[in-house]
Amino acid sequence: MRKGLNMRSNFNRRGMIGFGLCVFVGASPLLQAGTPELVTQVPTTIDDFFIPGSQPGMLEHPIVSYTSCDSCHAGYDPIAAPHDSWINSMMGQTMRDPLFRASLTIANQDAAFSGDLCLRCHAPGGWLAGRSEPTDGSALIDIDFEGVNCNMCHRMVDPEFAPGVSPAEDEAILASIGILPVNPHTGSFIIDPLDRRRGPFDLENFNSHDWFQSPFFSESRMCATCHDVSNPAFERQPDGTYSALPLGQPPLSSNKYDQFPVERTYSEWLTSAFAQAPIEMNGRFGGNITAVSSCQDCHMPDTTGRGCNRNSRPIRDNLPTHQFVGGNTWVLDAIREQYPDEDTGLSEEGVATNRARTYNMLSAAADLEGTQTDDTLQVRVTNMSGHKLPTGYPEGRRMWINVQFFDDLDQLLTEHGHYDYTTATLTTSDTTVYEAKLGIDAQVSALTGIPEGESFHFALNSVWVKDNRIPPMGFTNAAAELTQTAPVDYSYADGQHWDDVLYEIPAGAHSARVALLYQTASREYIEFLRDENFTDSTGTDLYNLWLDTGMGEPYEMLSVNVPLDPPVNCPPDLTGEGDLNFLDVSAFLTAFGNQDPIADFNTDGNFNFLDVSAFLSEFAQGCP
């Protein structure tokens, strides 16, 4: 119970020493690797990152290893067996993730103890056991590297008690929690202090371990626990900006919408049409359910099978698989490079299966169209997922349009959104890149020495610089404003879950190939994590793993080939309406009188009766 008891005394003693003065009260100057400037570490405390819910030391029975579940839940069915899919997913490897470890180091460098926020979700068992300090994860033990394991999830308690629906025992558990989360976010989990496991089904006559049926496990609110992330050190102001709280003070509000938004995947879903009712997707995301609504419907698609290896247990058609597939295309390969399979439980076959599922998920998340209008190619990307596209961790994650124009001999004429696979460099200036970019404001810049503007400094970011990611079905600007999910430096109309981008068709183009590509992490972000790390080797380790596993190459989600008609050449159609009439004559006479070059029909540089004659001759012939 290190948190929640002595926080107010800290505030009374230090409440007048704000974040804005922290540089004068013990902030540590640190030489940032690769730069001559001194960068100041903000001397935040563990209390600055307090999140409600179960706290370290509250569990009478600690989180136990997944190996205690294997005897019944592994090895009997490659799809239905919960362990077999989970262990080969990022959920089973959250603490071994080298991208996470490198970013954790930067967070702790930038703001003392900020890594506590990260460890809540990446090593929840260790966090609950009090092993998250130091907040670099150095006190964690082997079991903590199981990430988000079976026992952790299946002991979660719904923070909203519903009499007659929630397990009766949950009422007392909730009453024992000092501060209940207003809404789930940032690891605000509540865990049964005893090893009593929960799930969505009535197990009937099952006595292998204590269990309760809980509808919470079928609801997206459960996923919100770690898939809406806030930085509680920044508080939302009436004008919509975010200001740092005084040091040593827990957040004034536990409502995530009062704190700085880092990720809002759940909130994106909450304001989508999927949250209102199931939407028929005709099996787009796999599984036995074709009309989907919740996070689980798509990321844990139902299959037919048994939840354990006992033949006495029923075969269910609505058995959730534990695939937990998202948008991570290469990190599992990096983990296999860094750790032996006997330590991680990963396998070549299992990772390959996960990768194939990830690719299928990404391809199913969008529709892609290309349409010609005269000398313009319109590309439409439609979001078919239940949240923004892309979503999740914003640092370096992006999706973009690639367009290639070819002549009648299939020779490349020009390209937009070129990606150089040898250098992992994307040309961004001539296409649309869908991404979120966060940044440093003037206050934080003055305190730390980090330049104001776009930044990968996760723990210090306090502004959103860009967010043009495509919203989901049912998007409204009003709801997005309320849930901190509004576009930034871009706009979408209410109901718009697509984006249209126009490309000029070059002369001689006979066809176009349009592709939509996605990348888990950009080269720029990987190099940032390497170059800005002056604490340990995690940044260099990540960079080398990135090199060894293909430099995180992008995945082509979709592509379409578009035949192109040559532009219609009709010079006398001066109004561009596609037909000839008195308006074109009037336009010509006006242009002729103004000596506008468009009226020089014989292109001799003069304006005389020869131009009038040429215009009338072509006008009489009509347009092709």
* 8 pLDDT more than 90: no
Q: What is the pLDDT of residues 86-130, one digit of tens each?
A: 999 999 999 999 999 999 999 999 999 999 999 999 999 999 999
Instruction: Give the three-class secondary structure for 333.
Output: helix
Q: What is the pLDDT of residues 224-274, one digit of tens each?
A: 999 999 999 999 999 999 999 899 888 999 999 999 999 999 999 999 999
Return the pLDDT at 9.
Answer: 29
In DSSP notation, 225-265 reads HHHEEEEEEEEE-TTS-EEEPPTT---S---GGGEEEEEEH
Instruction: Give the three-class secondary structure for 388.
Output: coil
* 26 pLDDT more than 90: no
Asked whether the beta carbons of 136 and 105 are under 8 A apart, the reply is: yes
CB neighbourhood size of 56 (10 A): 16
Q: What is the dihedral of CA 176, 180, 186, 189, to 10 degrees?
A: 40
% of the chain with per-residue pLDDT over 70 = 93
* Of 456, 454, 460, residue with least CA distance to 19: 460
Q: Is the peptide bond before 506 cis (omega within 30 degrees of 0)?
A: no
C-alpha distance from residue 63 to each of 172, 200, 510 (Å): 20, 20, 62
What count of Cα atoms within 13 Å lies in the side-chain half-sphere of residue 475?
29
Determine the Cα–Cα distance for residues 500 and 515; give it in Å rounded to an integer: 14
What's the CA angle centered on 68, arms 197 and 193, to 5 degrees?
A: 35
Return the pLDDT at 76.
Answer: 96
Instruction: Give the three-class secondary structure for 502.
Output: strand
Q: Where are the alpha helices (DSSP H) in 345-413?
A: 348-364
Return the pLDDT at 574.
Answer: 85
Instruction: Give the three-class secondary structure for 172.
Output: helix
Q: Where are the domains of the chain?
A: 365-563, 582-621
What count of Cα atoms within 13 Å lies in the side-chain half-sphere of residue 201?
15
Return the pLDDT at 39.
Answer: 66
What's the CA angle centered on 570, arms 568 and 573, to 5 degrees?
A: 120
Tokens standing for 267?
Answer: 């909130």
Q: What is the pLDDT of residues 519-548, one digit of tens each?
A: 999 999 999 999 999 999 999 999 999 999
Determine the Cα–Cα distance for residues 386 and 281; give it in Å rounded to an integer: 11
Strand partners, 156: 191
Tokens standing for 102?
Answer: 């490198």
* Of 95, 67, 306, residue with least CA distance to 201: 306
pLDDT: which is higher, 611 or 25: 611
Lowest mean pLDDT among 74-88, 485-499, 507-521, 567-581: 567-581
* Of 259, 217, 297, 345, residue with least CA distance to 49: 259
Instruction: Give the three-class secondary structure for 496.
Output: coil
Give this prediction's pTM.
0.88
Residues near 478 by beta carbon (within 8 Å), at least 6 away in sequence: 494
C-alpha distance from residue 164 to each of 176, 218, 296, 446 (Å): 20, 17, 23, 54
pLDDT: which is higher, 433 or 13: 433
Q: Is residue 377 within a helix (H) or strand (E), and if so which, with residue range?
A: strand 376-383
Confidence of residue 571 (pLDDT cuts 50, 70, 90): confident
Across the chain, mean pLDDT equals 92
Strand partners, 260: 231
Q: Which residue has the tokens 């050190």?
A: 233
Tokens standing for 223?
Answer: 């996923």
Q: What is the dihedral of CA 417, 422, 424, 425, to 10 degrees?
A: -50
Residue type, 230: S
* 471 pLDDT more than 50: yes
Return the pLDDT at 516.
Answer: 99
